[in-house]
Amino acid sequence: MNPVFEMRHISKSFPGVQALDDVSIAVEKGEVRALVGENGAGKSTLIKILTGAYSLDGGEIYLRGEKVHCGNPSEALQLGVGAIYQEFNLVPHLTVAENVMLGQVPSRLGRVDRSEMHRRAEEVLARLGVSLDTRRKVIELDVAQQQIVEIARGLARNLSILIMDEPTAALNEVEAQNLFRVVGQLQRQGVTVLYISHRLNEIFVVADSVTVLKDGKLVGTELVSGLTEDEIVHMMIGRQLTDYYPPRGSATDDVIFRAANVSLKEKLHNVELTLHKGEILGIAGLEGQGQRELARVLFGDIPCDEGEFFLDGERVRIGSPARAIETGLGFISDDRKGDGLVLIRSVRENISLPTIDDYAVGGVIIKDREEMKYVKRMIDQLDIRASGHRQVVRYLSGGNQQKVVVAKWLGVNPRVLVVAEPTRGIDVGSKSEIHYILRDLARQGVGILMVSSEMPEVLGMSDRILVMREGCVVAELPGDTATEEMIMTAATNAHESSSNGAKPELRD
């Protein structure tokens, strides 16, 4: 074995946390190595050490057989090492092209050559099979488009070692397949790829081998061809995960919420839906068919052009998030870092945020004991793993951040909870915990509308499934008998019979 990079006996600690403990990893040229583990296992810390974002406490790094010290990301880039992070590092008010070419903007006669910059950016996007206006500002893009720009910037640098941290977290199936094709091209060109993903099925598509971390320690490295998905899960969490999804059976016949004739210019067209008490209603479809806009309209984040809303049979007005909360709605966004959390504030402050008026007068907390009692109860109930209620949320793992988002909405005692991509970017163990939390809420009578781009999640969690296409609800399927083929048939307007002879119930 002649590794292109090797990390020997790496250790790193933060206040109160041993993030990495004597971890060693070696990867050969042109190899695609998957790096997996639960949130908080040490994956992000390891790659940030390799890319110079973090200093190491102990250990050594070798590139092409020579010992190196990456003091900062710029030095790492000069050595040919770069990363595409799950947390976007984009400049919102710059264009797509400016972000893709950031740090290597072409110039001519001392001035930025904008035509060449856009040409190069378009060329990189074409490698991903994506058509995106390179003159648009990043702030105007949705989460999936921003993810594509992040990936394109990494590809534009022509690195010899490329780290991909959850690169498909916000991509649809077609975009993900294009990314897998690009990874294959990079491998054939001799680029070494370190691939981090919580979607274990991807590992069997793109990776040659897999390294598993748990609690900051190395569990082992194995060839992917010799493992099953269940075996990888067992290595990650130390136990068999037999029930990925909780049993159904919480839905009643009582209608708790109804939306009628909801329309939003070019995005939604006369959408109607009924949500029952204790029901989890899944919203499925290809990416960009109006699901995200529907979730935000229902919470008042986007004002609709037309539409009526009814809670317990009474017409209600939902013109803003504040009004939606007063009405009895909660919202878990698909962008927890941008919308769901205040990253620089503590666990306590984030959990209390929607209910702060219950504990404060004029912005001053006067019921400190009551607030702390609630915060501690949520931390215990949801098993939020933090050093304490004062820990800043940005330093929590993705799964624990998502639990904080859920905890803050439990405080408002929602009648209806709108959930968008509830498990995006979190590990398989945390996913299962979030699924059980949502089902437990449903058993308490909460109506849950769940938008998800992950087909297994939609099928595993939903009591009923609505399929959207071009801003319309085009099919309704029973959750216990629906299949991926039935959903895709409706989503793509292919009305052939599914393999079991059933057809989705199509709507006019």
168: in domain:
yes
Asked if pLDDT for residue 503 goes beyond 50, the answer is no
378: in domain:
no
CA distance 459 to 479: 6
CA distance 368 to 456: 42
Indicate the residue among 171, 203, 237 that finishes a domain: 237
Q: In sequence order, which residues have a C-beta less than 8 Å from that of residue 205 and are 6 or more positions away?
A: 180
Domain co-membership, 227 together with 290: no
Indicate the residue among 237, 268, 293 that finishes a domain: 237
Domain co-membership, 228 together with 311: no
Helix, strand and coil percent figures for the chain, each rounded to 5 = 35, 25, 40
pLDDT at 236: 85
For the segment 76-108, what is each residue's pLDDT rounded down to a tens digit?
988 999 888 776 788 999 999 999 998 888 988
Q: Is the pTM of this model over 0.85?
A: no
Asked if pLDDT for residue 500 goes beyond 50, the answer is no
Domain co-membership, 296 together with 415: yes
Cα radius of gyration rounded to whole Å, the chain: 24
pLDDT at 498: 37
Domain co-membership, 95 together with 177: yes
Task: Give φ, ψ of 25 to 5 degrees.
Answer: -150, 140
Q: Are 451 and 294 in contact (CB under 8 A)?
A: yes
Q: Is 473 helix (H, G, I), strand (E, B) or coil?
A: strand
Q: Amino acid letter at 212? A: V
Asked if pLDDT for residue 131 goes beyond 90, the answer is no
Domain co-membership, 445 together with 296: yes
Q: Amino acid letter at 448? A: I
Percentage with pLDDT > 90 across the chain: 52
What CATH code is carried by the domain that includes residue 192?
3.40.50.300
Asked if pLDDT for residue 7 goes beyond 90, the answer is yes
Residue with tokens 């539409």: 307
Q: Are 487 and 493 in contact (CB under 8 A)?
A: no
Domain co-membership, 154 together with 294: no
Q: In sequence order, which residues have a C-beta less than 8 Å from that of residue 315 and are 6 or more positions away?
A: 308, 309
12: in domain:
yes
Q: Is 341 exposed, middle or buried (0-12, 13-18, 19+ CB in 10 A)?
A: buried
487: in domain:
yes
386: in domain:
no
Domain co-membership, 205 together with 332: no
Asked if pLDDT for residue 54 goes beyond 60, the answer is yes
Domain co-membership, 286 together with 153: no
Domain co-membership, 282 together with 338: yes
pLDDT at 499: 36
pLDDT at 507: 60
Average pLDDT over the chain, rounded to an integer: 88
Asked if pLDDT for residue 210 goes beyond 70, the answer is yes
Tally of domains in the chain:
2
Indicate the residue among 180, 208, 237 that finishes a domain: 237
For the segment 447-473, what is each residue's pLDDT rounded down to a tens digit?
999 999 888 899 999 999 999 999 999
Q: Which domain holds residue 63?
A: 3-237
For the segment 303-336, what is each residue's pLDDT rounded down to a tens digit?
999 999 999 999 999 989 999 999 999 999 988 8
For the segment 343-375, what is each residue's pLDDT rounded down to a tens digit?
999 999 999 888 887 887 766 667 788 889 889
CA 441, 445, 450, 454 dihedral sign is positive
Q: CA 152 → CA 44, 56, 131, 171, distances in Å?
A: 20, 29, 12, 13
Domain co-membership, 232 together with 330: no
Residue with tokens 């390799």: 50
Within its chain, how far is the Cα of 231 from the centroid? Answer: 24
| Most distant pair of Cα atoms in the chain: their distance | 71
Identify the weakest region by mean pLDDT among 7-11, 144-148, 381-385. Answer: 144-148
β-pairing verdict for 416-420 and 447-451? parallel
Domain co-membership, 410 together with 436: yes
Task: Give φ, ψ of 152 to 5 degrees.
Answer: -60, -40
Identify the weakest region by mean pLDDT among 30-34, 147-151, 372-376, 436-440. Answer: 147-151
CA distance 300 to 262: 12
63: in domain:
yes
pLDDT band at 494 (very low <50, low <70, confident <90, very high): low
Q: Is 234 helix (H, G, I), strand (E, B) or coil?
A: helix
Considering only residues 236 and 1, tell me which one the structure prediction assigns the higher pLDDT: 236
One-character DSSP codes across 170-205: T--HHHHHHHHHHHHHHHHTT-EEEEE-S-HHHHHH
470: in domain:
yes
Asked if pLDDT for residue 151 goes beyond 70, the answer is yes
For the segment 411-425, what is each residue's pLDDT rounded down to a tens digit?
888 999 999 999 887
pLDDT at 115: 93
pLDDT at 268: 94
Choose the most confident range, by mean pLDDT, from 161-170, 236-245, 268-277, 352-361.
Answer: 268-277
Q: Amino acid letter at 235? A: M
Asked if pLDDT for residue 262 goes beyond 70, the answer is yes
pLDDT at 362: 67
Q: Is 407 helix (H, G, I), strand (E, B) or coil?
A: helix
Domain co-membership, 269 together with 135: no
Asked if pLDDT for residue 247 goes beyond 50, the answer is yes
